[in-house]
Each structure stands twice: as structure tokens, then as C-alpha cells.
Structure 1
Amino acid sequence: MSLETMDKIAVTAPEVEAESEDQILARVKAKHRKSKLRVWGLRAALIVLWLGSWELVASLWIDPFFYSKPSLILDRLVEWFTEGTQFGSIWLQIFTTVQEAVLGFVIGTVAGVVLGTLLGRSRYWADVLAPFIKALNAVPRIVLASLFIIWFGLGLSSKVATVVVLVFFAVFFNAFTGAREVDGNVINNARILGASKRQILGSIVLPSATTWILSSLHTAFGFALIGAVVGEYAGASKGLGLLISNAQGTFDAAGIYAGMIIITVVALMAEWLIGVAENRLLKWRPSQAQSGHGV
């Protein structure tokens, strides 16, 4: 190609304007927003397809008395939130279950973090207590729930005790592993600089195990709700577990599904709150994308 031809192409070619930083950010945000809308649209379509198929099958082929259907479940939810339940206001039932779950979650988390971290840094006591911890973890929780009802009655205490047992082991093993994974060189350097055991535990071990501990909280709160419902199912005077147990006893499939939906919504809200708290607590940790820029 001659120089004259190249000059003509260069003259006739349209000039491409360089995008500013604000334009690039706006384009990326718009693309991300469109992608998010597509994801939520697909989720909504799947839910509509699932519920519509269920409604159709239950209306034409299967017995809704046993399998229920979305319209009956919606009717039961509307009844509970407008007229109340057999055991009082639905808000009282929700509050009772959430109160049991939150109290047990806090106690179980604190106990799991403290004992998990201490045993994670003490191999001697970890070896001594290992068989006892494994044996306790192997005990069926429903059996413990029954025992707690005998010991503490049908009130709040028996449900909280059940929740504590479920949450404790979920947090304990993560805290234990996180404490074991701390870099030994960092601890040795701190000892050389004169740091005490308490300073090492508070300034090095706990921050290093924070990621492990926080990741366990997502699962732990799910266990907390399970523990509260199982305790109420075994014996209670109020709560969502009692509503589900009563619905089972009266062959009210719609009531069982309605209780499950309420528990699921509560669990999702708690998951969101824990995620927000986790993001704020771990702001100091660089993301993988940021850490890869220097490679």
C-alpha cells in the first residue's frame, strides 16, 4: 500500500473520541444495572413458572388437600396476617421465634468463638477435649430439645438452649480452624517483640480468624431458626413451630407451607443483615480484584 493511499484512509477515517473516566464509569454502571435486571427478571419468571405449574397440577391432577396449592397458601397467609391465628397474633408468633433464635444465636456464637479460639491455640487441651466435643456434636438435636423441655419447661429457656447447642458447634469448628490457620511466623515475631499471650490472642489470632468466624454466622443463624422451630415443635405455647405442628395435626397443608414461607423470609432478612455487618467489619481486607492489580 502506497503512502498516498494510507494518507487518504487516515483522512477519511472517522475520529474516535476518547471516553472520559465519568463516561466509562457510567457505561459500566449501566451495563451492570442491565445485567442485574436480567437476573432478577429470570428469577421472577422461574418463580411464576413454578407457582403456575403447581397451581395447575393441583387443580387438575393431584389432590390439593394433601399437596395444597399457591392460592390456598396465600389465603392462609392473608388470614393469619389479618385475622390472626388460633394462638394469637401472627406477629406474636414471629416475635417469639425470632426472640428465641436471636438469644440462642448470640449466646452460642460468643461461646463458640471463645472456646474455639482458645482450643485452637492450645493443642494440649484440644487433644484432651476432642472426644468429648465430638460426642456432644453427635447427639441428635431433637433428643436434646425433648430433654430441655423436661428440664426448663415449655417457655423461652428450653428453646434458647436448643438454639445454643445448634449454633455453638457451627461457630466453634470454624473459630477453631481459623485460630489454627494463623501464620506461626507472625506470632513468633510478636513474641520476640514482647507481646503477651492476651495481646497475641486479641491483636493477631482473632483478627486472622474473623473471616472464618463470619462465614460461619450465615449458616449459624439458619441453625438458630431451626433450633427454635424444633424446640417449639417438640412443645410450646406459641411460636411458628407451634403453628406448623398444629397445621400438621389438623392436616392443614396450606398452614405448613405458610409457616415455612414466613420462616424463609425471616432467614433471608437475617442473612442480608449478617452480610451487611460482614462487609463493614471486613472493609480492611482487600478484595481479590484489588490485590491482583499489583501482580
Structure 2
Amino acid sequence: MLNLIRPNQKNLRIWQVLVLVAFFAVWHFATRDPQAAFFFGEPIKVMARIWQWFTVGSGTLEVGFMDSTWFTLNFPAEIYPHLLVTLTETLLAFGIGTLLGLACGLWLALSPLTSAILDPYIKAANSMPRVILAPIFAMWFGLGIWSKVALAVTLVFFIVFFNVYQGVKEVSPVVLANARMLGASQRQLLRQVYLPSATSWVFSSLHTSVGLAFVGAIVGEYLGSARGVGYLILQAEGTFDINTVFAGILVLTAFALVLDTVVGMIERRLMKWQPKSGETEKM
């Protein structure tokens, strides 16, 4: 009987659900006191707020560029236009930041002299608190989605950049020497040696970058926006509606997990050649 309830790979999902249920149970009983509920919210009211967001009312979103409107989207509930704006900002920042980090990481890893010249400036840029750039981006790009995308890109870029750079640097000199001895060109080395070496490092960074892309989008919406889940959270904070604040946090967390799951599925598909954990030791 003890073996059946002991955590293992077969009942892993059950234990994960039990942890979630236990968390909400503790939260529920801890906030039965009105004073505690004021600061920490009540899970039942939080869930009710999420349900209202997705089922009650209606919403519209004008799609266009600059001052021109191309068309208007109509939604069956209040949350959808805000959620679409936040997810659009997140996905754009995630994609742009990943591509820029991948390109710059490969470039500097394969150009030691350029890397040495730019090294102090890259470290200085990475050490800068990127949140302080939000007002500057708002001045440059306005209060639309692009100021939020720019802020989130700065968060995603450095995570991907340093992982790609390190992944290329970790390529075995023996493998490089053997490939060159067989007549591999620089382009073939890039495709057959450097990129496969950096791929595992890239996907490792992407799991972190998903959360940072959401952080950048939400912080940007906090500082100036008329749409987005961050805007809803800010409005709720202004009226001390802690239940709506936690509702926004839970919605963002759920969609961040969905995006992270998609990244994991892509990783498993592209990394089939990589031995699973523990297989190398068995061989």
C-alpha cells in the first residue's frame, strides 16, 4: 500500500494535483479571517472573478497601425481583448528576443576579436536594470504594444544570447579538428557542429525566457497602457481589489505554463538525437 502512494513516475501527475489542491485549501482556510482576506484575497472569489472575466460582458479591440484602424474585433467576454494584447506582446517579444539572441550569440562566439572589443559594453548593458528603459521606450514607440515588446525583448535577449554564446564555446576542439580535417567549410561547421551544440543551451534558456517575456509585457502595461492584463491588475490595485489582482496573476501564470509546455514539445521534437537523462551513464 505504501508503495502505491509513494511518489514515482507513474503517479507524478496525481501528486502534482494534490499539491495544487493543498495549496488552495491552505489559502482558503487561512483567509477566512476578514483581515487576512483583505491582504491575501479569497480563492473562491478569485475563481469567481476569473469565471466572470471569461463568461460575462463583451469586449472590442481595434486593430490598426499608428492612428489608422483597419478593423475591429468583437469578443464574447471582457478578458479576451486584454488577454490578446498581452499574449501578442509576449509572443512578439519572445520571438524577436530569441532570434536576436541567437544571431548575436553565434556571431560573437565565432568572432573572438569582436567579442573581446564588445565584452565590457555587453556586460554593462546586461547589468543595467532594464525596467528603467520602459519610460524611454514609451517615448520612442508610444503607449501601444511596441513599447512593451521592446522592454520584453531586452529581458529575453540576454538570457538567450549568453546561453548560445556559451553553447558554441563548449564545442569540443577534437570534434572541430576532425570536421576540418574532413574538409568541412565554415557554413558546414555552423550547421553540423555549432548549431547542434548550441541547441540544447538555447532551449534551456527559452524556458526561462517565457516567464521574462510575460514580465516585460506586464511591467510595460503597468507603466502606461489602456489594454492588457497588466492594465486590469493596475486598475484593481487602485481600488484595493486584491481578488482581481490574484485573478490576473493566476490567468497569466496559466498562459505562461501553456507557452512553456509548447516550448517543451518543440524541444522534445527537435532534440530526439540527445540521450535522455541517465542513458549516457547506462551506456
Tell me the TM-score normalized by structure 2.
0.86
Aligned-partner Cα distance in 1 for 2:22–2:276 = 37
Note if contact 2:46-2:244 (Cα within 8 Å) is conserved in structure 1: yes
Instruction: Tell me, yes or no, if structure 1 residue 240 matches structure 2 residue 213.
Output: no
Shift of 1:293: 4.2
- The CA deviation string for residues 203-253 of structure 1, in whole angstroms up to 9 with x for no partner, is 211111111111111001111111111111111110111111111111110
Tell me which residue corresponds to 1:154: 143
Task: Please give the alpha-carbon distance, in whole angstroms, between the structure 1 residues aligned to 2:181 and 2:282.
Answer: 33
Tell me which residue corresponds to 1:83.
Answer: 56
CA distance in 1, matches of 2:226, 2:11: 45
Give the aligned length: 263
Post-superposition shift, 1:86?
Answer: 8.9
Select the residue among 110, 121, 142 that pairs with 1:132.
Answer: 121
Letter in 1 for 2:215: I
Contact in 2 for aligned 1:105/1:164 (Cα 8 Å) = yes
2:100 corresponds to which residue?
111
Query: Is the Cα–Cα contact under 8 Å of residues 89 and 145 in structure 2 kept in the other structure?
Result: yes
Q: Is 1:73 the equivalent of 2:30? A: no
Task: Look up the match of 1:9.
Answer: none
Shift of 1:276: 0.7
The whole-number CA distance in structure 2 between the counterparts of 1:86 and 1:256 is 20
Pick aligned residue for 1:50 from 6, 10, 23: 23
- Among candidates 9, 12, 22, match of residue 39 of structure 1: 12
Query: Does 2:268 match 1:271?
Result: no
Structure 1 gap ranges (5+): 1-30
Shift of residue 166 of structure 1?
0.7
Question: Does the alignment pair 1:122 with 2:114?
Answer: no
Aligned-residue sequence identity (percent) comes to 40
After superposition, the Cα gap between the structure-2 partners of 1:292 and 1:39, relative to the gap in structure 1 and judged at 3 Å, is: closer
SS in 2 for 1:286: coil
Residue 70 of structure 2: aligned partner: none
Structure 1 residue matching 2:215: 3-state secondary structure: helix
Contact 2:104 2:161 in 1 (8 A): yes
1:117-167 Cα distance to aligned partner (Å, 9 max, x none) = 121122211111111111111221211112111110111111111111111
Q: Any stretches of 5+ residues in structure 2 without a counterpart?
A: 61-76
**Aligned-partner Cα distance in 2 for 1:57–1:205:** 53
1:262 aligns with 2:243: no
Structure 2 counterpart SS, 1:217: helix
Task: Indicate the RMSD between aligned Cα atoms, in angstroms.
Answer: 2.2
1:99 corresponds to which residue? 88
For 1:6, the equivalent position in structure 2 comes to none
For 1:36 and 1:280, the matched residues in 2 are separated by 21
Pairing 1:156-235 to 2, within 5 Å after superposition: 156-235=145-224
Q: Is the 8 A contact 2:90 2:149 kept in 1?
A: yes
The one-letter code sitting in structure 2 at the alignment partner of 1:105 is: F
Q: Closer, same or farther in 2 for the Cα pair 1:81/1:178, shift >3 Å?
A: same
> Hey, what does 2:32 align to over in structure 1?
59
**3-state SS of paired residue (2:171):** coil
Q: Radius of gyration: which is bigger?
A: 1
How many Å separate the matches in 1 of 2:258 and 2:86?
Answer: 14
How far apart are 1:288 and its partner, in Å? 4.4
Task: Give distance in 1, aligned partners of 2:25 and 2:278.
Answer: 41
| Structure with the higher fraction of residues in helix conformation | 1
Shift of 1:290: 3.8
**Which residue of the partner structure matches residue 65 of structure 2?**
none
SS of residue paired to 1:165: helix
Moved more, 194-203 or 139-148: 194-203
Residue pair 1:84, 1:90 contacting (<8 A) in 2 also:
no
Deviation at 1:281, TM superposition (A): 0.3
For the residue of structure 1 that corresponds to 2:35, the secondary structure is: coil
Question: Are 2:280 and 1:291 equivalent residues in the alignment?
Answer: yes
